[in-house]
């Protein structure tokens, strides 16, 4: 018998668990450990609440969690309740699927002012992450700035611009729905330090901005490169740029009071304000031959009481695990960090790729582990989950089992608004109460 621990129950964790269970079948026991009492990581807390079809993948993960040789242990903190040494002592292999839940910092003057928030915090707030339940972002100004030209910037801009009606069928949490209904925000300016050909936005997500009830996308035609240059783009990128061309070609709808305005070649220099964010000082840029953005010295000001930076994420370090602060993740060779210790997903690659990218990633690491432990190999004698259970008990840590999560989920479904799939519980204590504590 082999014993494996996967830390983190988001997509990367579940695909790895699935692959290990397939490779070892009834020759293994696997524990899927999460610091929160609820599973699914990025699916629950990252994917936008109005993108329910993407969240449906959790049904596949549920099947993995219900496999007889798999256990979910929520509410267990690696680094507080258990150490990496404890896990390597109990298990034959440990896989870190801890994601990249921390915001990369803007690093400009004024980025610490109230009103400046990172996307992990802002997205966590509208998605009901317990760490950000009290964020209370300022929505009292007419102007907001979103920094970055990736899909997260699109998610944030769209959520800020939607009406309550447009959230029907979503699982946006009640506190965010109410705050957004009262929001004064009318203009969301998306700052991109490079140009339309350098965006990291995908066509489907960008196209959605053209169909909002109360908001029109605004693109300056003069920012767009000559049309013939689009031929050099890959097909997805070309479709995205076509959306920008369509937005530039149609004047904003006079019947829609909100604007989502794209400022390209625009690099934030500072956030200013008297005790809170009031404006962003922006420098115009030009592209260098290597594709990087170079400041031109010309500046302008965009008013903003809310500034959301959507410039990428970092994996937090874990005591006892090598960490590269520059890369913001664990250094690894094809997923291998060290002896019997692996990383998958964003903890392995950094914060890029779609949910599906994690599948081959997890399978590749499972193959490496399978090669280490052939079916006819000698057993290691490690006691796996039983050893962990003893440790947790001695430390008064009471893990949340998958059956407990199912009770929490039932409570969330029962509390759903009309038309919504669930009303998420947003506090750890509420989750623990719902499991029957
Ligand atoms: P991303 O795609 O890497 O985009 C980050 C953006 O931030 C880039 O435009 C980057 O510009 C900009 N940026 C970085 N540092 C900056 C700075 N100091 N100042 C100004 N701008 C800066 O990251 P993301 O949007 O966080 O998305 C993460 C991953 O999740 C991506 O793979 C994304 O596609 C995926 N995702 C997918 C969906 C979906 O499919 N619906 C939704 C959300 C996220 P440069 O290019 O100039 O560096």
Ligand 1 pocket: which of 53, 100, 151, 207 to mutate (most atoms within 8 A of CB): 151
Which residue, judged by its Cα, is nearest atom 13 of ligand 1?
A: 311
Atom of ligand 1 nearest to the CA of 198: 46
Q: What is the mean pLDDT of residues 157-172?
A: 98
For residue 410, being part of any structural domain is answered with no
Lowest mean pLDDT among 124-133, 272-281, 371-380, 412-421: 371-380
What's the gap in Å between 135 CA and the centre of ligand 1? 22
Task: Judge whether 419 lies within some domain.
Answer: no
One domain for residues 150 and 129? yes
Burial class (CB in 10 A: 0-12, 13-18, 19+), 134: exposed
* 229 and 165 within one domain: yes
Query: Which of 271, 311, 350 best tests ligand 1's pocket when mutated (most atoms within 8 Å of CB)?
Result: 311
CATH code of the domain covering residue 285: 3.50.50.60
Q: Is residue 412 part of a domain?
A: no
Q: Are residues 295 and 187 in the same domain?
A: yes
Token look-up 């990128």 returns 237
The answer to whether residues 360 and 228 belong to one domain is no
Rounded Cα–Cα distance for residues 7 and 34 (Å): 6
Whose C-alpha lies nearest to ligand 1, atom 4? 150
Helix, strand, coil abundance in the chain, percent, nearest 5: 35, 20, 40
Instruction: Tell me, yes or no, whether 146 lies in a domain.
Output: yes
Residue of 123, 200, 264 to mutate, ligand 1, most atoms within 8 A of C-beta? 200
**3 state SS of 337:** strand
Shared domain check, 121 and 85 = no
Q: How confident is the model at residue 394 (pLDDT cuts 50, 70, 90)?
A: very high
pLDDT the model gives residue 378 = 81
Can you tell me the distance from the alpha carbon of 148 to that of 128, in angstroms, rounded to the nearest whole number? 23
Angle CA 26–346–408, to nearest 5: 60
**What pLDDT does residue 186 have?**
98
Identify the CA nearest to 4 among candidates 73, 129, 94.
94
Q: How does strand 187-191 pair with strand 116-118? A: unpaired
- Rounded to the nearest angstrom, the distance between the alpha carbon of 134 and the centre of ligand 1 is 25
Q: Which of 130, 85, 157, 106 is nearest to 311 (CA)?
A: 106
- Could you read off the pLDDT of 169-228 as tens digits, one per residue? 999 999 999 999 999 999 999 999 999 999 999 999 999 999 999 999 999 999 999 999
CA of 122 to the centre of ligand 1 (A): 15
pLDDT in tens, 304-339: 999 999 999 999 999 999 999 999 999 999 999 999
**8 Å CB contact between 247 and 224:** no
Q: Is the CB of 205 under 6 A from ligand 1?
A: yes
Residue 434 lies inside a defined structural domain of this protein: no
CA distances from 87 to 94, 363, 371, 383 (A): 7, 21, 20, 11
Tell me the C-alpha distance between 171 and 419, whole Å: 9
Please indicate, yes or no, whether residues 284 and 198 belong to a single structural domain of this protein. yes
Residues 125 and 62 in one domain: no
Ligand 1 atom 31: residue of nearest CA: 352
pTM, entire model: 0.97
Percent of the chain at pLDDT exceeding 70: 100
Instruction: Output the average pLDDT for the chain.
Output: 96
Burial of 108 (0-12, 13-18, 19+ CB in 10 A): middle
Q: Ligand 1 centre from 389 Cα, in Å?
A: 40
What single DSSP character describes residue 30? E
In this structure, are 300 and 322 located in the same domain? Answer: no
pLDDT in tens, 37-68: 999 999 999 999 999 999 999 999 999 999 99
How far is the centre of ligand 1, averaged over its atoms, from the C-alpha of 201 (Å)? 8
Q: d(Cα 348, Cα 330) in Å, to the nearest integer?
A: 6
How many residues are recorded in the chain? 437
By CB atoms closer than 10 A (0-12, 13-18, 19+), residue 78 is: buried
pLDDT attached to residue 379: 81
Last residue of a domain, one of 286, 309, 332: 309
Boundary (domain end) residue, out of 284, 309, 334: 309
Cα of 18 from ligand 1 centre, angstroms = 28
pLDDT digits (tens, 9 = 90+) for 336-362: 999 999 999 999 999 998 899 999 999
Count of domains observed in the chain? 2
Scan for tokens 């293994």, then name that residue.
28
Is residue 426 one of the residues assigned to a domain?
no
Query: Could you list the residue range(s) of the whole structural domain that residue 155 is in?
Result: 105-309
User: What pLDDT is recorded for position 376?
Assistant: 81
Structure confidence at residue 166 as a pLDDT band (50, 70, 90)? very high
- Greater confidence (215 vs 437) lies with 215
Q: Which atom of ligand 1 is nearest to the CA of 106?
A: 18
Work out the pLDDT band at 70, boundaries 50, 70, 90: very high
Residue 422 lies in a domain: no
294 lines ligand 1 (CB under 6 A): no
Q: Who contacts 289 (Cβ-Cβ below 8 Å, separation ≥6)?
A: none
Q: Which of 148, 264, 349 to mutate to test the pocket of ligand 1 (most atoms within 8 A of CB)?
A: 148
DSSP string, 98-113: ----EEPP--STTTTS
Q: Ligand 1: does its nearest atom lie under 6 Å from the Cβ of 353?
A: yes
Which of 102, 147, 152, 287 is the best mutation target for the ligand 1 pocket, counting ligand atoms within 8 Å of the beta carbon and taking the most? Answer: 152
pLDDT value at residue 420: 97
For the stretch 397-412, pLDDT in tens is 999 999 999 999 999 9
pLDDT band at 374 (very low <50, low <70, confident <90, very high): confident
Q: What does the pLDDT read at residue 375?
A: 78
Segment holding 369, helix H or strand E: helix 358-372
Do 15 and 86 lie in a common domain?
A: yes
Judge if the beta carbon of residue 202 lies within 6 A of ligand 1.
yes
For ligand 1, whether the C-beta of 351 sits within 6 Å is yes
Residue owning the nearest CA to atom 17 of ligand 1: 311
Euclidean distance between CA atoms 422 and 160, whole angstroms? 21
Q: Is the CB of 152 under 6 A from ligand 1?
A: yes
Look at residue 380 in the predicted model and tell me its pLDDT: 82
**CA-to-CA distance for 399 and 281, rounded, in angstroms?**
48
What value does the mean pLDDT take over residues 119-125? 98
pLDDT at 437 over 80: no
Q: Are residues 131 and 192 in the same domain?
A: yes
Residue closest to 117 by CA, chosen among 164, 143, 156, 155: 156
The CATH number of residue 336's host domain is 3.40.50.720
Q: In this structure, is residue 436 part of a structural domain?
A: no
Question: Could you tell me if 123 and 245 lie in one domain?
Answer: yes
Indicate if 91 and 113 belong to the same structural domain: no
Q: Name the least confident of 50-59, 150-159, 377-386.
A: 377-386
Residue 262 has a pLDDT of 98
Residue 302: which pLDDT band, with cuts at 50, 70 and 90? very high
């Amino acid at each position: 018998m082999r014993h494996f621990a996967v830390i983190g129950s988001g997509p990367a964790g579940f695909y790895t668990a699935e692959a290990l269970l397939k490779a070892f079948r009834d020759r293994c026991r696997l524990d899927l450990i999460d610091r929160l009492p609820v599973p699914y990581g990025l699916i629950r807390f990252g994917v936008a609440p109005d993108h329910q079809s993407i969240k449906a993948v959790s049904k596949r993960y549920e099947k993995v969690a219900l496999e007889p040789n798999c256990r979910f242990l929520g509410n267990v903190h690696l680094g507080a309740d258990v150490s990496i040494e404890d896990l390597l002592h109990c298990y034959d292999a440990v896989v870190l699927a801890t994601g990249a839940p921390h915001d990369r910092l803007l690093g400009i003057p004024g980025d610490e002012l109230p009103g400046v928030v990172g996307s992990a915090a802002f997205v966590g707030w509208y998605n009901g992450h317990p760490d950000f339940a009290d964020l209370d972002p300022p929505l009292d100004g007419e102007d907001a700035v979103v920094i970055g030209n990736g899909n997260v910037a699109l998610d944030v801009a769209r959520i800020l611009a939607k009406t309550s009606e447009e959230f029907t069928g979503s699982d946006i949490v009640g506190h965010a729905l109410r705050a957004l209904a009262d929001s004064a925000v009318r203009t969301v300016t998306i700052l991109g330090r490079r140009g339309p050909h350098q965006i990291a936005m995908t066509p489907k997500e960008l196209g959605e901005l053209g169909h909002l009830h109360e908001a029109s996308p605004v693109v300056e035609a003069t920012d767009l490169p000559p049309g013939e240059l689009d031929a050099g783009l890959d097909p997805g990128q070309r479709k995205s740029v076509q959306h920008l061309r369509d937005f530039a070609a149609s004047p904003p709808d006079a019947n829609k009071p909100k604007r989502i305005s794209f400022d390209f070649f625009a690099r934030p220099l500072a956030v200013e304000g008297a005790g809170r964010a009031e404006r962003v000082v922006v420098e115009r840029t030009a592209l260098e031959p290597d594709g990087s953005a170079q400041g031109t010295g010309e500046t302008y000001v965009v008013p903003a009481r809310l500034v959301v930076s959507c410039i990428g994420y970092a994996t937090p370090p874990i005591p006892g695990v090598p960490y590269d602060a520059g890369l913001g993740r664990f250094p690894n060779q094809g997923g291998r960090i060290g002896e019997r210790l692996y990383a998958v997903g964003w903890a392995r690659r950094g914060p890029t790729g779609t949910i599906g990218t994690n599948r081959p990633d997890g399978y590749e690491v499972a193959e490496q582990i399978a090669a280490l432990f052939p079916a006819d190999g000698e057993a290691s004698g490690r006691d796996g989950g039983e050893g962990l259970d003893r440790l947790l008990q001695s430390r008064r840590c009471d893990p949340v089992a998958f059956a407990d999560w199912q009770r929490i989920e039932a409570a969330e479904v029962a509390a759903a608004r009309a038309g919504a799939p669930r009303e998420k519980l947003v506090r750890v204590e509420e989750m623990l109460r719902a499991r029957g504590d």
